[in-house]
């Protein structure tokens, strides 16, 4: 893993969202996407060895770095599904990572 800037992370997420989400869904979630971008600026730069956790409590998406929640929770199941589709959708950014997250392959 390497250090990553807020810009790099934001761009990667924003480019990945349309791979598994409709234009209508993205339009409905613009406020939540903006909130995610704001949280990313608070989280970044992400240094090597940091742990970013994205958690859905059944109502809100909560993002933390090294065990500390960052920003306000982002409301809604639709947003959470849209965000997690980046890694777990039909067209994930990495099939290897998807399989690892689902426990379908082992990491060396």
The 10s digit of each residue's pLDDT in 52-94 is 899 999 999 999 999 999 999 999 999 999 999 998 999 988 8
Number of folded domains that form the chain: 1
State yes or no: pLDDT of 32 exceeds 60. Answer: yes
Q: Choose between 31 and 97: higher pLDDT.
A: 31
**Is 94 among the domain residues?**
yes
In a domain, 71, yes or no: yes
Residue position matching structure tokens 């809604």 = 76
pTM, two decimals, is 0.82
Establish if 62 belongs to a structural domain: yes
Asked if residue 13 is part of any domain, the answer here is yes
Domain extent at residue 78 = 6-100
What is the C-alpha separation between 41 and 34, in angstroms, rounded?
11
User: Residue 73: which region, alpha, beta or left (left: phi > 0; alpha: psi -120 to 50)?
Assistant: beta
> What is the average per-residue pLDDT within 27-49?
89
């Amino acid at each position: 893993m390497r250090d990553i800037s807020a810009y790099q992370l934001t761009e990667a997420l924003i480019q990945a969202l349309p791979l598994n989400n409709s234009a209508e869904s993205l339009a409905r979630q613009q406020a939540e996407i903006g909130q995610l971008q704001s949280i990313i600026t608070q989280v970044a730069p992400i240094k090597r060895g940091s742990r970013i956790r994205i958690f859905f409590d059944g109502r809100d998406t909560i993002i933390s770095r090294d065990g500390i929640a960052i920003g306000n929770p982002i409301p809604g199941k639709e947003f959470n599904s849209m965000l997690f589709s980046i890694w777990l959708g039909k067209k994930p950014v990495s099939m290897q990572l998807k399989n690892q997250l689902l426990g379908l392959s082992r990491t060396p």
